[in-house]
Structure 1
Amino acid sequence: MGVTTATHEFKSSIPAPRMYKAIIQDSPTVFPNFMPQYKSEIVQGDGGVGSILQTCFADEGNQVKVVKHRVEAKDPASFYSKYTLIEGGALSDNVESVVNEVKIDTAGDGCVVKAINHYHTKGEADKALIETIGQQTLGVYKAVEDYLLANPTVCAA
């Protein structure tokens, strides 16, 4: 078993506390506003460490229909979260688990969102798949930024 780590960064004009709130704390209510096919719910726990979150994608064109993540860490004070993909998504005969970390750093009036993904594989990692997933993640962060810019009161307090 090997581990392949990929880091993707997104620079945003949105302040770090607001971006963290939108991406981590309020994503089940924020994301459906710009991704109507997205539905996320807590299926075990209270949303904190150890909880299991299930996300469904109702889009017919989407190959991934349901994914489950276990929350490993949440630190709103440092704008950090860590969770493990335990079902669906990138998991396959070759990928046993994916540990995802999101770290949001203040950068001037905005922030830098870092997505660090650790792919635990049984063999060689599929570099093209990893890059595709990274680009999709950055696309979601850009959509969050666009939504927050268009809706200045969302996640503002």
Structure 2
Amino acid sequence: MGVVTYESEETYAVPPARMFNALASDNLPSKIFPDVVKNVEVLEGNGGPGSIKKFTIVEGGQVKYAKHKIEEEDKVNLKLKYSVIEGNDLADYKLEKISYEHQWRASPNGGSICKTICKLHAKGEVEVTEEQAKAGKEKVIGVVKGVEAYLQANLDVCN
């Protein structure tokens, strides 16, 4: 099984604790992305580490669902680790799983900096292409930018 890893570091206008809390939330994805995420359901666990969450995607989208396993949720150090363990994206790209790690810290301007590490775990001898890795990176950045925009428009959320 091949593993492709990429890292990115992006700056956001929203403070790190708000960004972390929004990304760790079970009820915000459907509010932030109402045209994409129908709901988030905790299938196993209490929503924290070890839990499995199912994201149901609106029928018009390409992906019908994705299951995430929460591996770490460190509220003190603002670190979130999870893996996509099931869903259409994995099947389409012949991946066993996709692991994400987000670490938030304050930026000098009052916003935040997020370092993201993503690992694409291919099934068997399948090779992950640079295009797949780039598409995954852009998708994650798009999601986090969407969270940022929602928090900027809703100043009372995740304080």
Instruction: Give secondary structure in 2 for the equivalent of 1:132.
Output: helix
Trace 1:115-154 onto structure 2 (pairs within 5 A). Answer: 115-121=116-122, 122=124, 123-154=126-157
Q: C-alpha offsets along residues 57-107 of structure 1, whole Å, 9 cap, x if unaligned?
A: 1040x2111010111111010111111211014313731121111111211
When normalised by structure 1's length, the TM-score is 0.89
CA distance in 2, matches of 1:89, 1:9: 27
In structure 1, the partner of 2:32 is 34
SS in 1 for 2:146: helix
Aligned to 2:99: 99
Specify every segment of 5 or more residues in structure 2 that has no aligned partner in the other structure, as ranges: none
TM-score, normalising length: structure 2: 0.88
Q: Which moved more, 1:86-95 or 1:2-11?
A: 86-95
> Any unmatched runs of 5+ in structure 1?
none
Q: How many residues align?
A: 153
Identity of aligned residues (%): 31
Q: Which runs of 4+ in 1 moved over 4 A?
A: none
- Alpha-carbon RMSD: 1.6
- AA aligned to 1:111 is S
Contact 1:8–1:138, Cα closer than 8 Å, also in 2? no
Contact 2:4/2:133, CA 8 A, preserved across alignment: no
